[in-house]
Chains A and B, each alone.
Chain A
């Protein structure tokens, strides 16, 4: 399917809000506009052939032919290009012209083009000082090969513009292209709109993420005042949420955090991630297991929010593609180079600078920012076991001890082990704090926190500890289940 068609269809059928569709890149009109540029160039006598020849010449700028003065011979010192005029970007065609005869020195031109170029050359002082100096330096090199030709009928000031020995009065002429201007004037405001839209949608979704955070906080609160009786039930919901978020963190949806491939991803990848996540949730039956209707509603909201992020990402990615395609088309059809324009845009809207891996355009930053937001405002509400692992035994820090040197918490058992091996340094920060540790280093706040949020793990470690204690006191045999049958 042709991109244009695919794009229009998606805009019409994906159920985007009207405001989005209005901000979308107007691919169809831009395409028409390119046709107009094409026609305008043709009317100037600059057909595809000529423009292509001009571009070809640029490939060998070192080979101007100073002799054989067929005025129709091409030579070019520079690319016919679109020069940005500070601030205001105006697409123009730059042509090297003999102001006397109106002959374009770059290209073969139709008589009417010559006439209009001649006019322009005579009436405009268009040569920028910098370029002039460059050209003059070049001319001087050429003059070494050919003695200066005789004075022409032109007055002195114009003779100063002399670039080459064989053509007395060459100068750069800028041909403003109205239709090309239209093209860029149509395209640029769209980017401003898309940027504004990205901003608004990001804020809107951030708001929703915050709301969801409140909801989740309420739902997973293990012990709520006045709800003591429901404790067991809430516990279970807490564990379901934890598992739901753990799976979510395991394979981030909108932005890759993997060691090997960190960075933006495409909409297709993100959609696949979300589908897989949804599939896993169904398989585990987590949603169905949730006890309270509030918990179910919040879970649904969580999934919906992810879909909304995906939708914004999709819309922006399509627009980024539309922009890339239309600029490419512009280059191809007009043989004017739109590069400069694209470069200017990136300076103006850093958000569209796309990474290699990603969706491009504003979609990349949307994926990254909202995923981060989801992480800090929603996922962080349900603590994950991984964040409370003792670095020595790699299990939940049981009777957590903080050595006072850094934030790490270790099991008291593991600290005692370190002490008995005379290992003085904190495993995490290398400070010599281990030997001085005692019962006062028990981190009561963390202990309480773990008992609230990880009641099952705490119970399990408690049992293990009791067993280990028995083994230490009475020997390995005592705790062997077989021995109790005697």
Chain B
């Protein structure tokens, strides 16, 4: 039998519902309150604008002593996100602090879509393209957004 859900997770979940962040939603599964279906909208003005990206988020037993595990389910062309949807973001690794929350992490991810950082790449090929021919990379990102991240 699993341990009862910590108050903190209950509180975070409640607040995500009662005060949703614009352009972001996170729904826990009925049968697993530590597993969330996440939707992040591409920020306006970025090459992901208009895209609706699905992610999965899991809170390990040690949470908040360790960061949530999170990855993109929707394919995305981004230098800091690899083919498996894993995200290179400092607050999800070394810079994690237990004071951070699901909502702050999702905001960071949304911000990462608005400001790709090819200097700290996870996806070498994309990062290379981004550095050598940025207009072309942005064009591809737009095409992928159109192709994979548009609501049908």
Chain A positions near chain B (C-beta within 8 angstroms): 259-260, 391-395, 408, 414, 417-418, 421, 423, 425, 427-428, 430
Contacts and interface: CB of A to CB of B under 8 A. Distances in A.
Given A392-B64, A394-B12, A423-B65, A418 B98 contact: yes
Contacts of A395: 7-8
Nearest to A464: B7
Interface in B62-78: 62, 64-66
A418 B96 CA distance: 12
B65 A394 contact: no
Interface of B: 6-8, 11-12, 19, 21-22, 62, 64-66, 95, 97-99
Contact of A392 (B11, B12, B19, B98): B98
B9 to A, nearest CB: 9
18 contacts: A259-B21, A259-B22, A260-B22, A391-B98, A391-B99, A392-B8, A392-B98, A392-B99, A393-B6, A393-B8, A394-B7, A394-B11, A395-B7, A408-B99, A414-B98, A421-B62, A425-B97, A427-B98
Contact of B65 (A391, A421, A425): A421
A461 to B, nearest CB: 11
A423 B66 CA distance: 9
Nearest to A427: B99
B22 A393 contact: no
Contact of A393 (B7, B19, B66, B95): B7
Contacts of B64: 392
B97 A394 contact: no
Nearest to B64: A392
A131 B96 CA distance: 64
B19 to A, nearest CB: 7
A123 B6 CA distance: 89
A393 B8 CA distance: 5
A392 B99 CA distance: 6
Given A391-B98, A394-B8, A430-B97, 8 more contacts: A259-B19, A259-B22, A394-B11, A395-B7, A414-B98, A418-B98, A425-B97, A427-B97
A260 B64 CA distance: 27
The list of the 9 closest CB pairs from A to B, nearest first, reads A391-B99, A427-B99, A394-B8, A392-B98, A427-B97, A427-B98, A421-B65, A394-B11, A393-B8
Contacts of A392: 8, 64, 98-99
Identify which of A259, A260, A394, A395 gathers the most chain B CB atoms within 10 Å of its CB: A394
B8 A423 contact: no
Contacts of B22: 259-260
